[in-house]
Structure formats: structure tokens, C-alpha cells
Amino acid sequence: MFKKILIANRGEIACRVMRTAKRMGIATVAVYSDADARSPHVLMADESVRLGPAPAAESYLKAELILDAAKATGADCIHPGYGFLSERESFSQACADAGIAFVGPPPKAIAAMGDKIESKKLAKAAGVNVVPGHVGEIDDTDHAVRIANDIGYPVMMKASAGGGKGMRLAWSEKDVREGFEATKREGLASFGDDRVFIEKFIESPRHIEIQVLGDQHGNTLYLNERECSIQRRHQKVVEEAPSPFVSPEMRRKMGEQAVALSKAVGYYSAGTVELIVSGADTTGESFYFLEMNTRLQVEHPVTECITGLDLVEQMIRVAYGEKLAMTQDDVKIHGWAVENRVYAEDPYRNFLPSTGRLVRYRPPEARFHQAPFASSDVEKRVSTSLDTNGESGTYIRVDDGVAEGGEVSMFYDPMIAKLVTWAPTRIEAIDAQVAALDRFELEGLGNNVDFLSALMQHDRFREGNITTGFIAEEYPEGFHGAPADDALLARLAALAAKLSSIETARNGLIDGQLSPRFDEALTRQDWVVRIGKTDHRVTVENGNVAVDGTEIAVDVEWKPGQRLVEAVFDGNPLAVRVERRRTDWRFTTRGASHGVRVLSPRIAELAEHMIEKVPPDMSKFLLCPMPGLVTRIEVGEGDAVEAGQPLAVVEAMKMENILRAEKSGTVKSLNAEAGDSLAVDAVIMEFE
């Protein structure tokens, strides 16, 4: 077996590979940019090598630096992780030329499948269904318009070398003219390749992918499917395995086509064949090849959970030349797994990217790293591993590459962590996600934890009635927090009164109180708990709580200063993240944050007469919505602008964000120019 492995990537995937390598007794080498010098993956490795400055193009994307690091440390194999160099056949070939094993597919397979245009041609030639579209190169914007008109709108423009990055949906010629060049730029910035292809956009689609695994001896398997339909801006947000839509027969057909395609190009190692499926066709016949990712996928943990396999270990063993220790009949489906991607973005501000320091980072306690029933002995069949360990309860897995006090920078992907839950059934796995998200403490920058919880509670998601347009369809006006029913609000009111009573009791123990019998007044306390604009009358007496006249059994142990409350209401657990804000509280649970005021009846009465502070009018300013780099200013001083007109472009997290005029007006002054790095809410321009 290999002696030392270099992981040519960063963040959670680097940590993920290291966990398996260490379990296999393989020494690890990390590489890092200046921005990652103290990152967890660097501290976790046995050795580490600096590559260069923070931008990926000057560090992680430089193949020659990676190879130099491998040679300098004596690494005999390189694992590329998810992206960066994983889909470059030149890098795979360079490893082979240097006598260093590449933990991935051979160069020819990467070349055949890594290029999205060429892979479609090969798939079509092999008889695999492909989405109608133009698979040749596109000369310019006018050429793109002609192609789109021929295909028929809507169409999707995609960067040839990309995945979710570098994609634009066009409903008209205007959209093509506006988005084609931006798609080219994003492809060039993220992947070093500005080629674009255009294909028909299938409305009401489901995104389903097949995990394949092959060795160098001609054995190739499909490891069931993953449902990845919950996406935003073409980036996956939620993944699950298996799919609630796929039937056994459909799974077999998809899997056999994926295997046939893999064998046609001599593919081995782990890979993913992505398909777009018509959710309206219950026959399961309407599925089309999109692309093949010649690498390990971000969502691979859900496959590991239901199969019992460690895909990273399998990749390493295949690279070493070993045969697969299982056959297709050994691959089963055990239980259900759901993965949520925790992103550094603010769902309350249209999901704008967020950067900054992780002031507090406390993920829920993980109970496993691979499958809950995985066998460490790869010679054992997957079908028997379940018999040894059982299939009961729920399990939590957290894959991350950050730590409390660390920075989430603007240079890399905004994903903070992956939260994975496994349970015997789909609903149990989803409910485990809700409970785990309630316990995910993350402060210091915007994050999507509330939004993920709201998705898990959404009736349509729980029913499995999902498409890639789910988020746009269900949240057309943006996200404002998951709705809270009366029962939850009553519980929060009871909790607020209980916590305030605990605080009051503690304060009563301080020496020098006005009344020597102050503790006797604590036997009964009456409160007015204001949540939003609704007041609840709450009484706490001898530990019992009544909200608006209805008793609620609440059991809670809490000390002032603790930020996570584990409460039990009528036998049902509820985790609430709490924050003290002067005289108020902020409770966060079940996908929403609630401002809570706890007042005595008299103070509540007087508070009605307080004057609310009106925020200043900022409508005359264009503010930077997120920390980022100004790449273009589209107007000048004195220019008249119309509603919807592009004003500036700000780049953050590898994505271009076009800032448009909300109403007609005249530019009075410019406060920024192209090349400026701005903080959130920095003034870009002022209007008359």
C-alpha cells in the first residue's frame, strides 16, 4: 500500500481524505495558500507545504507547485479532492510521468468525460440519451443567439469545464446577449476555460446522479443514485440517497447506462454520471445524460451512508492496483441519508455571499464519519456488514475544514460544512436534520442554517415532490424565516419566561438587595412575553408555566451565558440557540430567529408609549450588498439611469453579481471604481 499521500486541495475534502488515509496507516501531506496557513487541514496533516498567495490561480491551481511539493516530501500518491486539478488530464499525466500515483481516473478518461462538450458527443455516439442542444464550440454572442433561437427557449448556457459555476438560464434573446459573456468570464475565472455550450432547458426537471466505481481490471459498478434537485443558482444545497422518485427498474436502467459509458472510455476510480430527469414522466424513461464528473463529489457521504463503503478508501485501493472487493449484487441500499450544505451566505439578504471570522463555530456532535454500519474490513461484503452492526436509530456526520476563530475568505467556495444524517427511513433522516440544525451554533458571518431547516420542514420537500426549481418556486420573494405555528410560539414564550425567571432568581442572590425577603417573591412571577407583535401572558409559579392560561410542561436546565438551550416540552425535545441583547432575547430554532421581549405587566403597559426609532433613508445610495471586488462600473457621474439598468458588477466567492437600479434617477457621484475591494454596505454611488 502507499506510504504517503498528498492531498492537492483544501478545506473539508482535504480533512476528509486525511481521516481515511490515517485509518489506513498512510502518512499525509497538506498543501496550502497564505490564506489557509493555519487551517484545520494543515494542522491535521503529518506534513505541509506552502504553495503561494491566496488566489487559487496562484496556488492550488498550479500543477507544477503541487508536483514539486509531492517530490519534496516523498509522497508516492496524490489525491486531488473535489475540484481544482481533479479534472485536468494533463495533471493526471504529469503525475504518471513523475512516477507518482494519481488517485483518480486515467488521463484519457478525464479528457473524454471532463470536457462537457466532448462528453456529450461521446454519450450520444454510445446511444445514451442526451439533452437536445449545441455541443460544438460557440464563436461569439451573435452565434450564441442564433443557436438559442434554433433550439428554442428556454436554454441553458454552461461553461464547458465547469459544474455549477458558470451557468446562465436564458428565457429570451435579451438574456443570451446579457449572460453569454458573463458565463465565459466565470468559466475562465473558475476553471481557466472560457468555452460555453448551450442546451435546451427541461422545465420541471429533477437532478439525479449515479455514483460509479471501477478498478483497473475491468470491473465497474454503480452504487445507486443520489437526488440533488434542491439547488440555488445551479449550486446543490441538499442531497439525499436514495431518490424518493427513482424506482428499482429506473435505478437499474440508469446504472447500467452509467456503467456502459464508463467502460466505453476506460474509466476507473470513483466518478459520477449526472442525469436530468423529467419528474412528470412516472415511467422513468425520460432521463438524459448531462455530464460526468471524473472525481469524488461533494455529496459522496450520502452514498457512503446507504452502501457502507468508504469511497475514499476505494479510490486509494484502486489507484494502488487492487481489484474491487465486491460485485454489483453486493451493493445494497440500507436506510436513507440526507446531506445539507452549510454555506457562508445570508438567506435573509437574497443569499448574498458572506465572509469574515467564525466567532463561534460549534457543529452538532457527530456520531460517525463513514457509514453508520460500515465495515473496516473491505473483504467483507456490504450486504453482511449491516447484520453485524444493526440498522436502528439516527446518525449524524459533519464534514468540515474550518474551526472557531478561523476566517472564511472571498477567495474560495462559500461552503462551511456538510451536515449528514442517516436513519432507517427518509422522514426520520429529515427529522434528524431539523434537530441537528437547531444545535448548529455558527456566529460571525451570514449562514444558511435557518434556510436549510426551513427546507427540511417544508411539506413539499417532505413529500418528495421536488424539482431543480423548488427554491425559486417556493421562495419567490426571498427567504424570511420558516413560519412558526402557534404551538411553537407558545413554547418559546414559556421558555423565555423560564429563562428570565432563572436570571431573576440569580440576581436575587446578589448581596445588598432592597428587600431581605426577595427570594419569596420568586415563587410566582407574571410576565408579558412579546414575540414579534404578539403578547403572551405567562405565569411561572413553583416551576410550573402557563401561557395565556394554558399550562405547558417545560423541563430546562440553563445557566445565564449559555447559548444553547436543550428544553423538553411535554416530553418533546427542542434545542434553541439563545442570545441576550440588552433587555431582549433572540431565539433561533426550527428555521427562524425570533426577537423576544420579557417584561413585567406594568413595564409592558408603559412600553406601548415608547417612540420607535425610524431608520435613515438610504434609497439615494447604491450600497455594496456583500464584501467583494468591484470589477466594473457601468455608469458615470451625471448619467440618467432607468429601473433595472446595470450599475456595477461585484465579484465575490467566484460569482459575478450585477447590481441594478431600483428606480429611475441621475448619478450624482461615484464613490468606488473598478478594482476596489469593498466591505458590506459600502457606498458605491449616490443619486440625486
Sheet of 77-79: strands edge to edge?
47-52, 27-33, 4-7, 77-79, 101-102
Q: For residue 130, what is the DSSP state?
A: B
Q: Is the peptide bond before 573 cis (omega within 30 degrees of 0)?
A: no
d(CA 37, CA 59): 12
What number of other Cβ atoms are within 10 A of residue 356's Cβ?
16
Radius of gyration of the CA atoms of the chain, in A? 27
Q: What sign does the dihedral 612-616-619-623 (CA atoms) show?
A: negative
The beta strands (E) that lie in 425-583 are given as: 441-443, 524-531, 534-541, 544-547, 550-552, 554-556, 564-569, 572-581
Q: Which residues contact 168 (CB under 8 A, 6 or more apart)?
A: 156, 157, 175, 179, 180, 182, 183
In terms of C-beta density within 10 A (0-12 exposed, 13-18 middle, 19 or more buried), how is residue 645 classed? middle
List phi, psi (to 5°) of 270: -85, 145
Annotate 399-436 with b (16+ C-beta within 10 A) or e (fewer). Answer: bbbbeeebbbbbbbbbbbbbbbbbbeebebbbbbbbbb
What is the residue-wise DSSP string for 90-114?
A: HHHHHHHHTT-EESS--HHHHHHHH
How far is 87 from 272, CA to CA, in rounded Å? 12
C-beta separation of 442 from 449 below 8 A: yes
Question: Among all chains, which residue has been given the C-alpha cell 431581605?
Answer: 516
Find the catalytic residue in 227, 291, 299, 651.
291
Q: What is the C-alpha to C-alpha distance for residues 283 and 456, in angstroms, rounded to an integer?
A: 27
Q: Is 215 helix (H, G, I), strand (E, B) or coil?
A: coil
Is the bond preceding residue 242 a cis peptide, omega within 30 degrees? yes
Could you confirm whether 379 is annotated as catalytic?
no
Torsion (CA) 421, 424, 429, 430 in degrees, nearest 10 = 170
**Residue 669: CB atoms within 10 Å:** 11
Write the DSSP assignment of 152-193 as a string of letters. Answer: -SSEEEEETT-SSSSEEEESSHHHHHHHHHHHHHHHHHHHS-
User: Whole-angstrom Cα distance, residue 106 to residue 266?
Assistant: 8
**Nearest to 20, CA basis, from 323, 320, 311:** 311
DSSP state of 518: G
Q: CA 460 to CA 226: how far, in whole Å?
A: 18
Q: Which residues are catalytic?
A: 291
